[in-house]
Structure 1
Amino acid sequence: MTNPSIPIIAIDGPSGVGKGTLAQFLCEHYGFHLLDSGAIYRTLAYGVTHSDLDVENEDAIVSLARQLPVSFEGGQVYYGEQVITSAIRTETVAAVASQIAAIQPVREALLQRQRDFAKPPGLVADGRDMGTVVFADAPVKLFLTASAEERAKRRVIQLKNQGVDANIAQITWDIEQRDARDRSRVSSPLIPAQDAVEIDTTALSIDEVCQQAIRLCDRSGIQPA
Protein backbone atom coordinates (compact mmCIF):
# COMPACT_ATOMS: atom_id res chain seq x y z
CA MET A 1 0.00 0.00 0.00
CA THR A 2 1.14 3.52 -0.74
CA ASN A 3 0.39 6.75 1.09
CA PRO A 4 -3.23 7.63 0.16
CA SER A 5 -2.39 11.33 0.41
CA ILE A 6 -0.08 10.99 -2.62
CA PRO A 7 -2.11 10.93 -5.86
CA ILE A 8 -0.89 8.35 -8.36
CA ILE A 9 -1.74 8.01 -12.03
CA ALA A 10 -0.90 4.49 -13.22
CA ILE A 11 -0.40 3.98 -16.97
CA ASP A 12 0.00 0.45 -18.28
CA GLY A 13 0.20 -1.19 -21.69
CA PRO A 14 2.65 -2.76 -24.14
CA SER A 15 5.49 -0.91 -25.86
CA GLY A 16 4.75 1.57 -28.63
CA VAL A 17 1.26 2.59 -27.51
CA GLY A 18 2.28 6.07 -26.33
CA LYS A 19 2.65 5.49 -22.59
CA GLY A 20 5.89 7.46 -22.31
CA THR A 21 4.58 10.47 -24.20
CA LEU A 22 1.37 10.52 -22.16
CA ALA A 23 3.23 10.06 -18.88
CA GLN A 24 5.55 12.97 -19.63
CA PHE A 25 2.60 15.17 -20.60
CA LEU A 26 0.71 14.35 -17.39
CA CYS A 27 3.82 14.99 -15.28
CA GLU A 28 4.16 18.45 -16.79
CA HIS A 29 0.42 19.18 -16.58
CA TYR A 30 0.04 18.19 -12.93
CA GLY A 31 3.57 18.90 -11.70
CA PHE A 32 4.05 15.28 -10.58
CA HIS A 33 7.11 13.03 -10.41
CA LEU A 34 7.66 10.36 -13.09
CA LEU A 35 8.37 6.66 -12.74
CA ASP A 36 9.40 4.96 -15.99
CA SER A 37 9.40 1.38 -14.76
CA GLY A 38 10.28 0.12 -18.22
CA ALA A 39 13.54 2.08 -18.02
CA ILE A 40 14.34 0.32 -14.74
CA TYR A 41 13.88 -3.10 -16.33
CA ARG A 42 15.79 -2.02 -19.43
CA THR A 43 18.59 -0.73 -17.22
CA LEU A 44 18.72 -4.10 -15.52
CA ALA A 45 18.78 -5.76 -18.96
CA TYR A 46 21.62 -3.43 -19.94
CA GLY A 47 23.48 -4.46 -16.79
CA VAL A 48 22.92 -8.14 -17.60
CA THR A 49 24.31 -7.79 -21.13
CA HIS A 50 27.05 -5.37 -20.04
CA SER A 51 28.22 -7.87 -17.41
CA ASP A 52 27.87 -10.84 -19.79
CA LEU A 53 25.44 -12.56 -17.43
CA ASP A 54 23.51 -15.57 -18.68
CA VAL A 55 19.78 -14.70 -18.87
CA GLU A 56 19.15 -18.13 -17.30
CA ASN A 57 21.25 -17.24 -14.23
CA GLU A 58 18.41 -16.04 -12.03
CA ASP A 59 20.49 -15.73 -8.85
CA ALA A 60 23.01 -13.40 -10.49
CA ILE A 61 20.27 -11.29 -12.08
CA VAL A 62 18.37 -10.96 -8.79
CA SER A 63 21.59 -9.96 -7.06
CA LEU A 64 22.18 -7.25 -9.68
CA ALA A 65 18.55 -6.09 -9.38
CA ARG A 66 18.91 -5.57 -5.63
CA GLN A 67 21.90 -3.27 -6.08
CA LEU A 68 21.07 -1.86 -9.51
CA PRO A 69 22.95 1.47 -9.88
CA VAL A 70 20.13 3.23 -11.77
CA SER A 71 19.22 6.89 -11.46
CA PHE A 72 17.22 9.45 -13.44
CA GLU A 73 18.49 13.00 -13.74
CA GLY A 74 17.64 15.76 -16.20
CA GLY A 75 15.77 13.43 -18.50
CA GLN A 76 18.74 11.05 -18.67
CA VAL A 77 19.07 7.47 -17.41
CA TYR A 78 22.28 6.60 -15.58
CA TYR A 79 23.92 3.26 -14.88
CA GLY A 80 26.30 4.33 -12.17
CA GLU A 81 28.06 7.33 -13.72
CA GLN A 82 27.35 6.23 -17.30
CA VAL A 83 24.54 7.79 -19.37
CA ILE A 84 22.64 4.94 -21.02
CA THR A 85 19.48 6.75 -22.19
CA SER A 86 19.97 5.71 -25.82
CA ALA A 87 21.66 2.38 -25.10
CA ILE A 88 18.61 0.97 -23.31
CA ARG A 89 16.29 1.75 -26.22
CA THR A 90 17.73 -0.87 -28.56
CA GLU A 91 15.70 -3.90 -29.64
CA THR A 92 18.34 -6.20 -28.11
CA VAL A 93 18.01 -4.65 -24.65
CA ALA A 94 14.21 -4.62 -24.97
CA ALA A 95 14.18 -8.36 -25.72
CA VAL A 96 16.37 -9.14 -22.71
CA ALA A 97 14.24 -6.88 -20.51
CA SER A 98 11.12 -8.80 -21.52
CA GLN A 99 12.81 -12.10 -20.66
CA ILE A 100 14.07 -11.11 -17.22
CA ALA A 101 10.83 -9.30 -16.37
CA ALA A 102 9.16 -12.71 -16.33
CA ILE A 103 11.36 -13.85 -13.41
CA GLN A 104 9.33 -13.52 -10.20
CA PRO A 105 12.31 -12.92 -7.83
CA VAL A 106 13.52 -10.15 -10.15
CA ARG A 107 10.15 -8.41 -10.01
CA GLU A 108 10.13 -8.74 -6.21
CA ALA A 109 13.62 -7.25 -6.00
CA LEU A 110 12.54 -4.19 -8.00
CA LEU A 111 9.08 -3.75 -6.46
CA GLN A 112 9.99 -1.58 -3.46
CA ARG A 113 12.39 0.51 -5.53
CA GLN A 114 9.50 1.43 -7.80
CA ARG A 115 7.17 2.22 -4.88
CA ASP A 116 9.78 4.54 -3.43
CA PHE A 117 9.14 6.91 -6.36
CA ALA A 118 5.75 7.81 -4.84
CA LYS A 119 6.46 11.18 -3.22
CA PRO A 120 4.53 14.46 -2.89
CA PRO A 121 3.01 16.14 -4.76
CA GLY A 122 2.15 13.04 -6.82
CA LEU A 123 3.39 10.42 -9.26
CA VAL A 124 2.74 9.33 -12.83
CA ALA A 125 3.80 5.67 -13.09
CA ASP A 126 4.41 4.25 -16.57
CA GLY A 127 4.79 0.50 -16.98
CA ARG A 128 3.28 -2.95 -17.41
CA ASP A 129 1.90 -3.70 -13.93
CA MET A 130 1.58 -0.29 -12.31
CA GLY A 131 -2.18 -0.57 -11.82
CA THR A 132 -2.29 -4.29 -11.06
CA VAL A 133 0.66 -4.77 -8.70
CA VAL A 134 2.98 -1.85 -7.95
CA PHE A 135 0.26 0.75 -7.29
CA ALA A 136 -2.87 -1.38 -7.11
CA ASP A 137 -4.57 1.31 -4.98
CA ALA A 138 -3.89 4.16 -7.46
CA PRO A 139 -6.97 6.39 -7.89
CA VAL A 140 -6.44 6.62 -11.67
CA LYS A 141 -5.51 3.63 -13.82
CA LEU A 142 -5.14 3.87 -17.58
CA PHE A 143 -4.39 0.99 -19.95
CA LEU A 144 -3.21 1.99 -23.43
CA THR A 145 -3.42 -0.33 -26.43
CA ALA A 146 -2.71 -0.15 -30.17
CA SER A 147 -2.38 -2.66 -33.00
CA ALA A 148 0.99 -4.37 -33.46
CA GLU A 149 1.16 -3.01 -37.00
CA GLU A 150 0.68 0.59 -35.89
CA ARG A 151 3.21 0.20 -33.08
CA ALA A 152 5.74 -1.23 -35.55
CA LYS A 153 5.22 1.77 -37.86
CA ARG A 154 5.85 4.14 -34.95
CA ARG A 155 9.02 2.24 -34.01
CA VAL A 156 10.34 2.32 -37.59
CA ILE A 157 9.83 6.09 -37.75
CA GLN A 158 11.60 6.48 -34.42
CA LEU A 159 14.57 4.40 -35.55
CA LYS A 160 14.84 6.15 -38.92
CA ASN A 161 14.90 9.50 -37.12
CA GLN A 162 17.88 8.12 -35.23
CA GLY A 163 19.56 7.11 -38.48
CA VAL A 164 18.95 3.40 -37.93
CA ASP A 165 17.67 1.12 -40.71
CA ALA A 166 14.65 -0.91 -39.66
CA ASN A 167 12.70 -3.86 -41.06
CA ILE A 168 9.01 -3.36 -40.29
CA ALA A 169 8.19 -7.07 -40.70
CA GLN A 170 10.89 -8.04 -38.20
CA ILE A 171 9.85 -5.34 -35.74
CA THR A 172 6.19 -6.38 -35.99
CA TRP A 173 7.21 -9.97 -35.26
CA ASP A 174 9.38 -8.86 -32.31
CA ILE A 175 6.47 -6.84 -30.89
CA GLU A 176 4.06 -9.77 -31.19
CA GLN A 177 6.53 -12.13 -29.51
CA ARG A 178 7.19 -9.66 -26.69
CA ASP A 179 3.47 -9.14 -26.17
CA ALA A 180 2.92 -12.89 -25.97
CA ARG A 181 5.65 -13.25 -23.34
CA ASP A 182 4.35 -10.32 -21.33
CA ARG A 183 0.74 -11.52 -21.39
CA SER A 184 1.50 -15.16 -20.59
CA ARG A 185 4.07 -14.78 -17.81
CA VAL A 186 2.99 -16.15 -14.43
CA SER A 187 4.30 -13.14 -12.50
CA SER A 188 2.47 -9.85 -13.13
CA PRO A 189 1.14 -10.59 -16.63
CA LEU A 190 0.40 -7.65 -18.92
CA ILE A 191 -3.33 -7.23 -18.32
CA PRO A 192 -5.45 -4.19 -17.48
CA ALA A 193 -6.51 -3.76 -13.88
CA GLN A 194 -10.21 -4.46 -13.35
CA ASP A 195 -10.83 -0.77 -12.65
CA ALA A 196 -8.56 0.57 -15.43
CA VAL A 197 -9.88 2.67 -18.30
CA GLU A 198 -8.64 1.38 -21.65
CA ILE A 199 -7.64 3.78 -24.44
CA ASP A 200 -6.91 2.42 -27.93
CA THR A 201 -4.38 4.84 -29.43
CA THR A 202 -4.18 3.19 -32.87
CA ALA A 203 -6.16 5.92 -34.66
CA LEU A 204 -5.72 8.73 -32.14
CA SER A 205 -3.33 11.66 -32.23
CA ILE A 206 -1.07 12.33 -29.25
CA ASP A 207 -3.19 15.35 -28.36
CA GLU A 208 -6.41 13.29 -28.44
CA VAL A 209 -4.91 10.68 -26.09
CA CYS A 210 -3.66 13.35 -23.69
CA GLN A 211 -7.01 15.14 -23.61
CA GLN A 212 -8.86 11.89 -22.89
CA ALA A 213 -6.48 11.19 -20.03
CA ILE A 214 -6.84 14.71 -18.61
CA ARG A 215 -10.63 14.38 -18.55
CA LEU A 216 -10.41 11.04 -16.74
CA CYS A 217 -7.90 12.37 -14.19
CA ASP A 218 -9.91 15.52 -13.56
CA ARG A 219 -13.06 13.49 -12.96
CA SER A 220 -11.13 11.45 -10.39
CA GLY A 221 -10.20 14.59 -8.48
CA ILE A 222 -6.55 14.84 -9.54
CA GLN A 223 -5.37 18.42 -9.02
CA PRO A 224 -2.26 20.19 -10.36
CA ALA A 225 0.43 20.69 -7.71
Structure 2
Amino acid sequence: MSLDGILEDNNMNVQKMVEFQMMTQVLKTAFQNSDSFDIIMQSLINSMSDSNGNIDLSKLNIGQEDLSNLGYGAGERLNNIYTGVKEDIKSGNMTIDEAVDKASRKYGVDRDFIMAVIKQESDFNPESTSGAGAMGLMQLMPGTARELGVTDAYDVEQNVDGGTEYLKKLLNMYGNSREMALAAYNAGSGTLASRGVDSISKISRLPYETQNYVQKVIGYYKNKTV
Protein backbone atom coordinates (compact mmCIF):
# COMPACT_ATOMS: atom_id res chain seq x y z
CA MET A 1 0.00 0.00 0.00
CA SER A 2 1.24 3.49 -0.81
CA LEU A 3 2.05 6.07 1.85
CA ASP A 4 -1.02 8.06 0.80
CA GLY A 5 -3.17 4.95 1.25
CA ILE A 6 -1.79 4.31 4.73
CA LEU A 7 -2.39 7.91 5.76
CA GLU A 8 -5.93 7.79 4.40
CA ASP A 9 -6.67 4.60 6.33
CA ASN A 10 -5.28 6.05 9.53
CA ASN A 11 -7.30 9.25 9.08
CA MET A 12 -10.45 7.19 8.65
CA ASN A 13 -9.65 5.20 11.76
CA VAL A 14 -8.92 8.30 13.80
CA GLN A 15 -12.30 9.64 12.76
CA LYS A 16 -13.95 6.42 13.88
CA MET A 17 -12.23 6.59 17.25
CA VAL A 18 -13.57 10.14 17.66
CA GLU A 19 -17.00 8.84 16.70
CA PHE A 20 -16.67 6.19 19.41
CA GLN A 21 -15.95 8.94 21.93
CA MET A 22 -18.92 10.95 20.72
CA MET A 23 -21.10 7.85 21.01
CA THR A 24 -20.19 7.44 24.66
CA GLN A 25 -21.11 11.06 25.32
CA VAL A 26 -24.46 10.60 23.57
CA LEU A 27 -25.15 7.48 25.64
CA LYS A 28 -24.16 9.34 28.78
CA THR A 29 -26.79 11.98 28.03
CA ALA A 30 -29.47 9.56 26.88
CA PHE A 31 -29.12 7.08 29.74
CA GLN A 32 -28.98 9.15 32.92
CA ASN A 33 -29.30 5.98 34.98
CA SER A 34 -25.74 4.70 35.38
CA ASP A 35 -26.89 1.05 35.38
CA SER A 36 -28.49 1.53 31.96
CA PHE A 37 -25.36 3.21 30.68
CA ASP A 38 -23.18 0.36 31.93
CA ILE A 39 -25.37 -2.26 30.29
CA ILE A 40 -25.40 -0.48 26.93
CA MET A 41 -21.68 0.24 26.93
CA GLN A 42 -20.78 -3.27 28.06
CA SER A 43 -22.77 -4.81 25.23
CA LEU A 44 -20.91 -2.59 22.76
CA ILE A 45 -17.42 -3.39 23.98
CA ASN A 46 -17.79 -7.09 24.82
CA SER A 47 -16.73 -8.10 21.34
CA MET A 48 -13.55 -6.04 21.55
CA SER A 49 -12.46 -6.76 25.10
CA ASP A 50 -9.74 -9.11 26.27
CA SER A 51 -10.02 -11.44 29.27
CA ASN A 52 -9.18 -8.58 31.63
CA GLY A 53 -11.98 -6.37 30.35
CA ASN A 54 -9.67 -4.00 28.46
CA ILE A 55 -10.30 -2.98 24.89
CA ASP A 56 -8.23 -5.04 22.47
CA LEU A 57 -8.03 -3.15 19.20
CA SER A 58 -7.00 -6.28 17.36
CA LYS A 59 -10.59 -7.49 17.92
CA LEU A 60 -12.23 -4.22 17.01
CA ASN A 61 -13.47 -3.91 13.43
CA ILE A 62 -15.78 -1.23 12.09
CA GLY A 63 -16.78 -2.31 8.66
CA GLN A 64 -13.57 -3.64 7.11
CA GLU A 65 -11.28 -1.24 8.96
CA ASP A 66 -9.06 -2.45 11.80
CA LEU A 67 -8.49 0.28 14.36
CA SER A 68 -5.27 -1.42 15.38
CA ASN A 69 -3.75 0.62 12.54
CA LEU A 70 -3.99 3.58 14.87
CA GLY A 71 -0.83 2.32 16.45
CA TYR A 72 0.72 2.26 19.89
CA GLY A 73 -1.38 3.77 22.69
CA ALA A 74 -4.71 3.77 20.83
CA GLY A 75 -6.10 1.00 23.02
CA GLU A 76 -5.19 2.93 26.13
CA ARG A 77 -6.84 6.06 24.75
CA LEU A 78 -10.06 4.19 24.02
CA ASN A 79 -10.03 2.62 27.47
CA ASN A 80 -9.53 6.05 29.01
CA ILE A 81 -12.50 7.40 27.04
CA TYR A 82 -14.74 4.57 28.24
CA THR A 83 -13.50 4.67 31.83
CA GLY A 84 -13.63 8.45 32.00
CA VAL A 85 -17.22 8.71 30.82
CA LYS A 86 -18.28 5.81 33.06
CA GLU A 87 -16.63 7.33 36.13
CA ASP A 88 -18.06 10.76 35.35
CA ILE A 89 -21.56 9.30 35.46
CA LYS A 90 -20.87 7.43 38.70
CA SER A 91 -19.02 10.25 40.42
CA GLY A 92 -22.16 11.87 41.79
CA ASN A 93 -20.75 15.19 40.59
CA MET A 94 -24.19 16.45 39.64
CA THR A 95 -25.44 19.98 40.18
CA ILE A 96 -28.46 20.58 42.40
CA ASP A 97 -30.52 21.72 39.41
CA GLU A 98 -29.65 18.56 37.49
CA ALA A 99 -30.42 16.33 40.48
CA VAL A 100 -33.76 18.05 41.09
CA ASP A 101 -34.75 17.86 37.42
CA LYS A 102 -33.90 14.16 37.35
CA ALA A 103 -35.79 13.37 40.56
CA SER A 104 -38.75 15.47 39.45
CA ARG A 105 -39.09 13.44 36.25
CA LYS A 106 -38.50 10.14 38.03
CA TYR A 107 -41.10 10.58 40.77
CA GLY A 108 -43.50 13.05 39.19
CA VAL A 109 -42.99 15.72 41.86
CA ASP A 110 -43.02 19.40 40.89
CA ARG A 111 -39.40 20.57 40.69
CA ASP A 112 -40.31 23.90 42.28
CA PHE A 113 -41.77 22.05 45.23
CA ILE A 114 -38.55 20.04 45.65
CA MET A 115 -36.50 23.22 45.44
CA ALA A 116 -38.68 24.88 48.08
CA VAL A 117 -38.08 21.98 50.45
CA ILE A 118 -34.33 22.13 49.85
CA LYS A 119 -34.35 25.88 50.47
CA GLN A 120 -36.00 25.43 53.85
CA GLU A 121 -34.11 22.29 54.87
CA SER A 122 -30.53 23.23 54.07
CA ASP A 123 -30.50 26.49 52.10
CA PHE A 124 -28.82 24.51 49.30
CA ASN A 125 -25.86 23.34 51.38
CA PRO A 126 -25.09 19.70 50.50
CA GLU A 127 -22.89 19.37 53.60
CA SER A 128 -25.54 20.60 56.03
CA THR A 129 -26.00 18.52 59.19
CA SER A 130 -28.58 19.30 61.85
CA GLY A 131 -28.16 18.88 65.58
CA ALA A 132 -30.47 15.86 65.36
CA GLY A 133 -28.28 14.26 62.69
CA ALA A 134 -30.32 15.07 59.58
CA MET A 135 -28.04 15.10 56.57
CA GLY A 136 -27.53 16.89 53.29
CA LEU A 137 -29.71 18.99 51.04
CA MET A 138 -33.04 17.47 52.04
CA GLN A 139 -31.95 16.71 55.62
CA LEU A 140 -32.46 12.96 55.63
CA MET A 141 -32.34 11.25 59.00
CA PRO A 142 -30.02 8.20 59.08
CA GLY A 143 -32.89 5.72 59.42
CA THR A 144 -34.85 7.30 56.59
CA ALA A 145 -31.77 7.36 54.38
CA ARG A 146 -31.22 3.63 54.96
CA GLU A 147 -34.85 2.84 54.14
CA LEU A 148 -34.54 4.79 50.89
CA GLY A 149 -31.30 3.07 49.91
CA VAL A 150 -29.23 6.23 50.24
CA THR A 151 -25.65 5.18 50.98
CA ASP A 152 -24.16 8.68 50.95
CA ALA A 153 -26.56 11.35 52.17
CA TYR A 154 -24.05 14.07 51.29
CA ASP A 155 -24.02 13.05 47.64
CA VAL A 156 -26.23 15.57 45.82
CA GLU A 157 -27.89 13.09 43.48
CA GLN A 158 -28.51 10.41 46.11
CA ASN A 159 -29.85 12.88 48.65
CA VAL A 160 -32.25 14.60 46.26
CA ASP A 161 -33.41 11.28 44.83
CA GLY A 162 -34.06 9.86 48.29
CA GLY A 163 -35.71 13.01 49.61
CA THR A 164 -37.96 13.29 46.57
CA GLU A 165 -38.94 9.62 46.79
CA TYR A 166 -39.90 10.21 50.42
CA LEU A 167 -41.88 13.32 49.49
CA LYS A 168 -43.72 11.34 46.83
CA LYS A 169 -44.67 8.65 49.35
CA LEU A 170 -46.02 11.30 51.72
CA LEU A 171 -47.95 13.03 48.92
CA ASN A 172 -49.53 9.70 48.04
CA MET A 173 -50.27 9.01 51.71
CA TYR A 174 -52.06 12.34 52.18
CA GLY A 175 -54.07 12.60 48.98
CA ASN A 176 -51.51 14.78 47.21
CA SER A 177 -51.86 17.53 49.84
CA ARG A 178 -48.59 19.44 49.84
CA GLU A 179 -49.28 20.92 53.27
CA MET A 180 -49.92 17.54 54.86
CA ALA A 181 -46.92 15.97 53.13
CA LEU A 182 -44.72 18.78 54.38
CA ALA A 183 -46.05 18.47 57.92
CA ALA A 184 -45.22 14.75 57.85
CA TYR A 185 -41.83 15.40 56.28
CA ASN A 186 -40.97 17.72 59.17
CA ALA A 187 -42.69 16.09 62.15
CA GLY A 188 -43.10 12.50 60.99
CA SER A 189 -46.30 10.73 59.97
CA GLY A 190 -46.44 9.11 63.40
CA THR A 191 -46.73 12.51 65.05
CA LEU A 192 -49.57 13.47 62.74
CA ALA A 193 -51.39 10.25 63.55
CA SER A 194 -50.91 10.59 67.31
CA ARG A 195 -52.27 14.14 67.26
CA GLY A 196 -55.19 13.32 65.02
CA VAL A 197 -53.96 15.51 62.17
CA ASP A 198 -55.70 14.10 59.11
CA SER A 199 -56.43 17.32 57.23
CA ILE A 200 -54.93 20.75 56.62
CA SER A 201 -57.38 22.33 59.05
CA LYS A 202 -55.86 20.31 61.89
CA ILE A 203 -52.21 21.23 61.26
CA SER A 204 -52.60 23.76 64.09
CA ARG A 205 -52.43 20.78 66.47
CA LEU A 206 -48.79 20.29 65.54
CA PRO A 207 -45.81 22.06 67.15
CA TYR A 208 -45.21 25.65 66.08
CA GLU A 209 -41.96 24.57 64.40
CA THR A 210 -43.87 22.32 62.02
CA GLN A 211 -46.60 24.88 61.35
CA ASN A 212 -43.93 27.46 60.53
CA TYR A 213 -42.07 24.96 58.36
CA VAL A 214 -45.16 24.24 56.26
CA GLN A 215 -45.93 27.96 55.81
CA LYS A 216 -42.38 28.79 54.76
CA VAL A 217 -42.05 25.99 52.22
CA ILE A 218 -45.45 26.72 50.70
CA GLY A 219 -44.46 30.39 50.54
CA TYR A 220 -41.24 29.58 48.68
CA TYR A 221 -43.15 27.30 46.35
CA LYS A 222 -45.98 29.69 45.52
CA ASN A 223 -43.76 32.73 45.13
CA LYS A 224 -41.13 30.83 43.13
CA THR A 225 -38.44 32.44 45.27
CA VAL A 226 -35.94 29.60 44.78
Classify the TM-score, shorter chain.
under 0.3
TM-score, normalised on structure 2? 0.25
| Larger strand proportion of the pair | 1
TM-score, normalised on structure 1? 0.25
| Larger helix proportion of the pair | 2
Q: Work out which of the two has the higher radius of gyration on C-alpha atoms and give 1 or 2.
A: 2
